[in-house]
Structure 1
Amino acid sequence: MNVLIVGGVGGIGQALVSLFHDIGHNVFATYHHTPPPTSYGRWFQCDVTDEACIIELAKVLPKLDIVINCVGILHTDNATPEKTIQSLDVEFFTRNIETNTLPTLLLAKHLQAHLTSKHATYFVALSAKVGSIEDNQLGGWISYRASKAALNMSIKTIAIEWRAKLPRCCVIAFHPGTIDTPLSAPFQPRIPSHQLHQPEWLASKLHQLLNKLEHSDTGQLIDYNGTKLPW
């Protein structure tokens, strides 16, 4: 099988690259600035917020069975999730949309032709439960919530369109929980130890989920336990 891991140098991305390599799949992966730390897989430098870069990436990729987009931000060196609307910063909000929402749309646009197959294919974007509008009971984190809610709507919309165009492709938004990576590092002191998981654990969970998915699951927000979450 041919697997594309977008954002392969992040904590979750690296774990997925290793897992799929170890089970014998052909792994393709992207990085933005930092070169890959592994010697296996075929790597491509790509800014996935730049449509021209994705167009060039699509030209050199073969047919794909699995696409997993791991790219995302929660904070930057200069900004953290907002606790109040008074903290809203336009630049930070825009960067959340550009990083957490736009790449999945561009990947779907330019990799649609790569996912045509006689057997099941999978298009997965790492999302977050905090992007669920129905589940939001706490407020705050406006930029991150809004970008993940937009991502979830994008996944739902792509899935509806692809039911006819790619009837064997299962399109899902995946909630990984809290994983021990730089993205969650500033917030880990407040997280109970039993709720903080390692990237390798999460990679295994996602692989198990892919093996269980039916096409009827397309267009869903699903967590690491296989539970379908409210939009």
Structure 2
Amino acid sequence: MAIIIFGAAGGLGQALTQALQQSTDETVVAISRRQPQQQLDGVDYLAVDDYQSAKLAQWIADYDATAEPITGVISTIGVLHDGTIEPEKNLQALAADKLAHSFYVNASLPLLLLKQFLPKLDRKRTRFWVQLSAKVGSISDNYLGGWYGYRASKAALNMMLKSASIELGRTHKQLCVAAIHPGTTDTALSKPFQKHVAKDKLYSPEQSAARIMAVIAKLSPEQSGKLWHWDGTELPY
């Protein structure tokens, strides 16, 4: 049995990898675009240039899901800023290429990975496919505006996960497809914006990882297709 985590080199990805390594007897496969600074004993690491690379495609093709079924997947893939994009404060800041980049990383890429891995997901034993999302992607919860690309791409992600949950509910009846909002975590993603976050609302990667794992532990097929807050409550789309 194996659990796969994407984005394993990021702050939250590393914390989730450690939480999995400490809490499960299953094989943990940590996939990232660079090697994590710290590699844990008992974890299988795979570094790829891109999540749509030939290297990852070959790894997936060679993976023997019969010998070691995948019981769950966690993806932390996402971008808020990366040196080429940053959250837009107003309409004047919008640019087509930057919007396209946000949508590719935050919405398209996670679903393309699900498409790639689908043949390897056991119809009876794969329990969860979890993608980290964001509360700011909730349309009904948007009271501040701004952050156009990030908000919209996360909303698109939530919609595509919802559609996937309906489709896979017919074929993979034990699977829960879920989006989880981890809260503002003290990582590189949130670093430029932490001065606006109250101290008690900024969480360590270890704290967020533990909360995410607690939400995952309670997921069931009947809850597939929903957006979850880190405290286990359902968030509106």
TM-score range, shorter chain: over 0.9
Task: State whether residues 115 and 121 of structure 1, in contact with CA within 8 Å, keep that contact through their aligned partners in structure 2.
Answer: no
Provide closer, same or farther for how the CA distance between residues 159 and 90 of structure 1 changes in structure 2, counting only shifts above 3 A: same
**Alignment partner for residue 47 of structure 2, among 45, 48, 56?**
45
Check conservation: 1:128, 1:175, Cα contact below 8 A. yes
Aligned position for 1:6: 6
TM-aligned CA deviation for residue 93 of structure 1: 1.2
Query: Which residue pairs with 1:221 in the alignment?
Result: 227
C-alpha displacement at 1:185, in angstroms? 0.3
Extract unaligned runs of 5+ from structure 2. Answer: none
Structure 1 stretch displaced more, 114-123 or 194-203: 114-123
Contact 1:6 / 1:71 at 8 angstroms: preserved in 2?
Answer: yes
CA contact (8 A) 2:51 2:113 kept: no
Identity over aligned pairs, percent: 37
Measured in 2, the distance between the counterparts of 1:156 and 1:65 equals 20
The code of the aligned residue for 1:147 comes to: S
Q: Distance in 1 between matches of 2:200 and 2:60?
A: 40
Shift of 1:152: 0.4
Which of 171, 182, 185 aligns to 1:179? It is 185
User: Which aligned pairs between 1:58-207 and structure 2 lie closer than 5 A?
Assistant: 58-61=60-63, 62=65, 63-119=69-125, 121-207=127-213
Please give the alpha-carbon distance, in whole angstroms, between the structure 1 residues aligned to 2:114 and 2:138: 21
Q: Which amino acid aligns with 2:130?
A: V
Larger deviation, residues 58-67 vs 214-223: 58-67
Q: Distance in 2 between matches of 1:141 and 1:217?
A: 29
Report if the CA contact (8 A) 1:84-1:140 is conserved: yes
Aligned length: 231
1:33 and 2:41 matched: no
Deviations 1:101-154 (A, max 9, x none): 122111111111222143451001100011111111111000101110110011
TM-score normalised to structure 2 length: 0.91
Q: Does the residue aligned with 2:39 lie in a helix, a strand or coil?
A: coil
Q: Measure the CA separation in 2 of the matches of 1:211 and 1:79.
A: 35
Q: How many angstroms does 1:51 deviate by?
A: 5.9
Which residue identity lines up with residue 61 of structure 2 in the other structure?
K
CA-based RMSD: 1.7
- In 1, the alpha carbon distance for the partners of 2:135 and 2:99 equals 18
Q: In 2 relative to 1, CA 39–50 (structure 1 residues): closer, same or farther, beyond 3 Å?
A: same
Are 1:54 and 1:110, in contact at CA under 8 Å, matched by a contact in 2? Answer: no
Cα distance in 1 between the residues matched to 2:30 and 2:108 = 18
Contact 1:74-1:80 at 8 Å conserved across structures: yes
- C-alpha offsets along residues 188-218 of structure 1, whole Å, 9 cap, x if unaligned? 0110011000111111111111221121110
Q: CA deviation at 1:15?
A: 0.6
The Cα shift of 1:157 comes to 0.5
Deviations, residues 43-67 of structure 1 (Å, cap 9, x unaligned): 1123455264542231233421110
State how far apart, in whole Å, the 2-side matches of 1:2 and 1:124 are.
14
Q: Structure 1 residues 203-212 or 176-185, which shifts more? A: 203-212
Q: Which runs of 5+ in 1 are unaligned?
A: none
2:166 maps to amino acid: I
* C-alpha spacing 1:51/1:162, structure 2 compared with 1 (3 Å): farther
Contact preservation (8 Å) 2:131, 2:180:
yes
Distance between the aligned counterparts of 2:5 and 2:190, measured in 1? 20
Structure 2 SS opposite 1:96: helix
The 3-state SS of whatever aligns with 1:138 is: coil
Cα distance between partner residues in 2 of 1:220 and 1:181: 25
